[in-house]
A and B are shown apart, each in its own frame.
Chain A
């Protein structure tokens, strides 16, 4: 006798999650790009602008005007960007019709990473061969010092984007070690181009900040202002030139406002560092925070004001002494289930 075996629909359905994220074909992406370009021209027409010179910024402004949205998350608002920015780059299928993979390192699992490692090592061997050739011909090895400070290696995330593969921390550190070994050898321009693929330019920190010029008040005395923040204290300071070294806080002399020596030392720190202790007058206002926070805020404000009086080199020295950075340390919040920010409740065995 035959027995009917009942199965539910769910068992027969395919496992949806196993195939991974949605895969886009090349034709699909091409179509999206064509649609985007057409849409860009239509949008330019709608806005009354020239379709040839319609930049991405203009597109963003137009979309924000046509589809106003009050949503807080910028990523949830309507956007129109080039398909390469919206659809993440995906690897094409690595094997042919017969099932044989194209790349010889496919079965390692991380083919791009290992191929890059092999290439770098090949360059290293090349450099060593070149060095040996030079020593055989009795020529001195070329020693060119590349500017190490101006560039940095790609971060792990950037490398992952470049190789389209997931890397582990260990893999990344090994790769960086190999590159550093290649760089330290006296190789010169041979491998320069190859190394540049994996470096990024880092601009000098100082260039990011604009130093304000000096202002002159009614008496003809030069002055400049600065603002400082520390924890919850907010301070504004005006530093006057040709002074005796008098410091007034909220209309009160510092000896009365800051009875503690440590705070007064902090106020004088920028002036003492620049050897201008008795040359400037200071008037400041401060509110909020505690005793030490107010002192720190005034210190930052006076350092920022002093930047206009001083040469660029000295501004760089002040930055390296830690006078111009905003202190990000604030009081840590109390968490539920604990007594304080870190302290836990007393553990009782029963």
Chain B
């Protein structure tokens, strides 16, 4: 037994690996596998693997990004409500896009994207900041130092901004799915308050460029 248990410890032994749910990887025949994949398969054959979480499934309808977003939207563990809100948002996006599609002239019909999942992913991508600011204390003063962000952090910030924006700046009468779909469509077209927030952050980082050498990591 370890004397010092880390604060974030898991019930699994550290030798357990993450499960891979994608069916296509397993249906490939041995000739099509590349060297690396063969090595990983051999390696996995010897190691134990963690159980798949209840939100993950091999069906076409489960998307890890969408489930992460639903978990962030959830309040007090009410997953049912969060999931229904997410479904209503995607429905609302689809409806709006279909309206636009039917009203548009022939040549523009191809450019209009109707798939709500594609819109969701593209909108999140557009909202992700590239650099962030981190406070570094040097000589008694705290400076805001521009710092490159990790992928996880970028995704988290994009989703967090989206949710806080929808919760605070909406009218008392509008429902969450409506407001969310509005924000997502705006982000998809690179407009809207969240994109503005991202640009503000970038400008601040550019302004504090002089302190970039304070970063030691």
Binding site for B on A (CB under 8 A): 147-150, 202-206, 260-262, 265-266, 268-269, 272-273, 292, 295-296, 300, 316-317, 319-323, 325-330
Known: A149-B46, A262-B83, A321-B21. A327 touches B51 (CB 8 A): yes
Name the distance in Å between B136's Cβ and chain A's nearest Cβ: 27
**Could you tell me the distance between the alpha carbons of A292 and B56 in the complex, rounded to whole angstroms?**
13
* Pairs of residues from A and B, 3 with the lowest C-beta to C-beta distance, nearest first: A322-B19, A322-B52, A149-B42
**Could you tell me the distance between the alpha carbons of A262 and B54 in the complex, rounded to whole angstroms?**
8
Does A320 contact B52, Cβ atoms closer than 8 Å?
Answer: no
Q: Which residues of A contact B23 (CB under 8 A)?
A: 273
Does A205 contact B48, Cβ atoms closer than 8 Å?
Answer: yes
Q: Restricting to B49-64, which residues have a CB under 8 Å from any CB of A?
A: 49-52, 54-59, 61-62
For residue B47, CB closer than 8 A to chain A, the reply is yes
**Could you tell me the distance between the alpha carbons of A327 and B48 in the complex, rounded to whole angstroms?**
12
Q: Restricting to B29-78, which residues have a CB under 8 Å from any CB of A?
A: 39, 42-52, 54-59, 61-62
Does B46 contact A326, Cβ atoms closer than 8 Å?
Answer: no
Binding site for A on B (CB under 8 A): 11-12, 19-21, 23, 26, 39, 42-52, 54-59, 61-62, 79-80, 83
Known: A266-B54, A272-B58. A205 touches B47 (CB 8 A): yes
Known: A148-B42, A265-B62, A326-B51. A272 touches B26 (CB 8 A): no
**Could you tell me the distance between the alpha carbons of A324 and B37 in the complex, rounded to whole angstroms?**
22
Q: Which residues of B contact A328 (CB under 8 A)?
A: 11-12
Of A268, A273, A320, A330, the most chain B CB neighbours within 10 A belong to A320
Does B49 contact A325, Cβ atoms closer than 8 Å?
Answer: yes
Q: Which residues of A contact B83 (CB under 8 A)?
A: 261-262
**Could you tell me the distance between the alpha carbons of A265 and B39 in the complex, rounded to whole angstroms?**
32
Does B46 contact A320, Cβ atoms closer than 8 Å?
Answer: no
Known: A322-B19, A322-B49, A327-B51. A272 touches B59 (CB 8 A): yes
Does B26 contact A265, Cβ atoms closer than 8 Å?
Answer: no
**Could you tell me the distance between the alpha carbons of A260 and B50 in the complex, rounded to whole angstroms?**
25
Does B52 contact A321, Cβ atoms closer than 8 Å?
Answer: yes
